[in-house]
Amino acid sequence: MASAAPSTATDDEPTEETALETARRQLERAAAHLNVDPGVIERLRHPNQVHRVSVPLERDDGSTAVYTGYRAQHDSVRGPYKGGLRFHPGVTEAECIGLSMWMTWKCAVMDLPFGGGKGGIVVDPKDLSTDEKERLTRRFAEELRPFIGPTKDIPAPDMGTDAQTMAWFMDAYSMQEGETTPGVVTGKPPVVGGSKGRDTAPGRSVAIIAREAIDYLGWDIEDTTVAVQGFGSVGAPAARLLDDEGATVVAVSDVNGAIYDPDGLDTRDVPTHEEEPEAVMKYNAPRKLSNEELLELDVDVLIPAAVGNVLTAENARDVQANLIVEGANGPTTSAAGEIFEAREIPVVPDILANAGGVTVSYFEWLQDLNHRSWSLERVHDELETEMLRAWTAVRERVEEHDVTWRDAAYMVALERVSEAHEHRGLWP
């Protein structure tokens, strides 16, 4: 597969530019608005380190296969590296570097004391049995062990990995270190140090940010219609929470298509990806649409929360929504972003809107380091506080500099990272 697009790009997504190219372009765009030392920008164009490891696996049939794994560590000026590990055949070194840069900005816009990391193994997890996946994960943890740790680099789940993968990873690391070390990864099952509320956190943050944006635009949420593409970990909680807030969710979709009811869907009745995979179309809605049609519905708010690169130069002019809140990573291509800017349709970017995931990962890490678990209510309260703080910082940049929401979010992030670099300096 060609280098993937900035995010969860899969084989069926167009690949306009590599994640690294996108990340560098976004860095330059943000730098142009700020008075930052060019030496710092030059440093941020490059990852601090990229580890490439060979991961041997004994297959169930007794044969041996060797997979390539990566861990890109972009910048740690504000704290240990943080970011996901994906098991996907499209994983490349350039993609890991680009996504690690992206994590630097996401952590900085949320003001979390982390830098950006990303890694993975070039493998299709569907080709592996559960036992093989476990052995591969444990060996990968061992190969990465010198470079990671609760104060160095803290991986998390990503495409093709999940809470169970993180539990194996943590167990392998802990056994080799001679002590249980839950803080080495986040996204674990709660029983081994995971946080309550981590699973729905990215969707919750999307709903919080959408609610704030609706309010900022002077709309009444009770009169606001919403379409959500993707009804998984991000889209489903986002749709349900906005429904709870009084918005009318008129359309949601999964990979098979979309359901549409202009009077509003009962989002609690639509099965999420977790409750029953790919069953959205079973809901008894007055109309069924394609995913492409969902993106072009005449709604107030569009939330693309499935995959990357769905809003492109081809369909951006046909989008009728008045506000886009990015639930997925990288759903808007750069060309589409320019069209939305010209059409004055605000696009609230992924690095702010779906950052609830990494924020509750930070809460998980704090709970692990302190050996104390938080209630779900506390997680929700603190997430709300952090999201509102980040929203306010980005909104102020929009108002002061008259820039897009994406540029404003990158400005907040770059300002924090570059100031930290200027204070720490370059040694020697």
Complex with ligand NAD: residue 18 or 329, whichever CB lies closer: 329
CA–CA gap between residue 206 and residue 20 (Å, rounded) = 25
Decide: helix, strand or coil at residue 315.
Answer: coil
Does 18 contact ligand NAD by CB under 6 A? no
Does 160 contact ligand NAD by CB under 6 A? no
Q: Which of 104, 161, 200, 233 binds ligand NAD (CB under 6 A)?
A: 233
> Which amino acid is residue 388, in one-letter code?
L
| Cα atoms in the Cβ-side hemisphere of radius 13 Å centred on 160 | 24
CA–CA gap between residue 246 and residue 278 (Å, rounded) = 26
Does 248 contact ligand NAD by CB under 6 A? no
CA proximity to 115, closest of 152, 147, 161, 170 = 152
Q: Which helix (H) or strand (E) holds 115?
A: strand 115-122
Does 386 contact ligand NAD by CB under 6 A? no
> Which amino acid is residue 358, in one-letter code?
V
Complex with ligand NAD: residue 40 or 299, whichever CB lies closer: 299
Complex with ligand NAD: residue 236 or 411, whichever CB lies closer: 236
Complex with ligand NAD: residue 225 or 253, whichever CB lies closer: 253
Residue 228 near residue 235 (C-beta atoms within 8 A) = yes
Residue 112 near residue 85 (C-beta atoms within 8 A) = no
Does 254 contact ligand NAD by CB under 6 A? yes
Catalytic positions, please? 118
Binding mask 190-219 toward ligand NAD (x if CB under 6 A, else -) reads: ------------x-----------------
Contacting ligand NAD within 312-331 (CB under 6 A) = 327-329
CB of 357 to ligand NAD, least distance (A): 4
CB of 302 to ligand NAD, least distance (A): 13
Size of the residue set binding ligand NAD (CB under 6 A): 25
Does 363 contact ligand NAD by CB under 6 A? no
Does 188 contact ligand NAD by CB under 6 A? no
Q: E-strand spans in 171-286?
A: 225-229, 248-254, 257-260
The secondary structure of the chain in percent helix, strand, coil, rounded to multiples of 5, reads 45, 15, 35
Q: Which of 90, 119, 349, 357 binds ligand NAD (CB under 6 A)?
A: 357
CB of 419 to ligand NAD, least distance (A): 26
Write b or e for each residue in 47-63: b if 16 or more Cβ atoms lie within 10 A of its Cβ, otherwise e.
bbebbebebebeeeeee
Does 98 contact ligand NAD by CB under 6 A? no
Complex with ligand NAD: residue 100 or 229, whichever CB lies closer: 229
CA–CA gap between residue 221 and residue 212 (Å, rounded) = 10
CA–CA gap between residue 258 and residue 336 (Å, rounded) = 22
Complex with ligand NAD: residue 36 or 207, whichever CB lies closer: 207
Residue 301 near residue 214 (C-beta atoms within 8 A) = yes
Q: Which of 307, 316, 323, 412 binds ligand NAD (CB under 6 A)?
A: 307
CB of 115 to ligand NAD, least distance (A): 18
Write b or e for each residue in 98-136: b if 16 or more Cβ atoms lie within 10 A of its Cβ, otherwise e.
bbbbbbbbbbbbbbbebbbbbbbbbbebeebeeebbbbb
For ligand NAD, which stretch binds (CB under 6 A), given 134-142, 172-180, 303-311, 387-395?
303-311
CB of 309 to ligand NAD, least distance (A): 10
Does 305 contact ligand NAD by CB under 6 A? yes
Does 291 contact ligand NAD by CB under 6 A? yes
Pairing of strands 115-122, 64-75: antiparallel
Q: Which of 3, 4, 8, 36 binds ligand NAD (CB under 6 A)?
A: 8
Complex with ligand NAD: residue 36 or 226, whichever CB lies closer: 226
Count the neighbouring beta carbons within 10 Å of the beta carbon of residue 43: 16
Q: Which of 40, 234, 247, 325 binds ligand NAD (CB under 6 A)?
A: 234
Residue 176 near residue 145 (C-beta atoms within 8 A) = yes
Complex with ligand NAD: residue 53 or 257, whichever CB lies closer: 257
Q: Which of 165, 253, 309, 359 binds ligand NAD (CB under 6 A)?
A: 253
DSSP summary character for residue 127: G
Q: Which of 111, 162, 278, 382 binds ligand NAD (CB under 6 A)?
A: 278
Q: By the criterion CB under 6 A, which residues form the site for ligand NAD?
A: 7-8, 202, 229-235, 253-255, 273, 278, 291, 305-308, 327-329, 354, 357
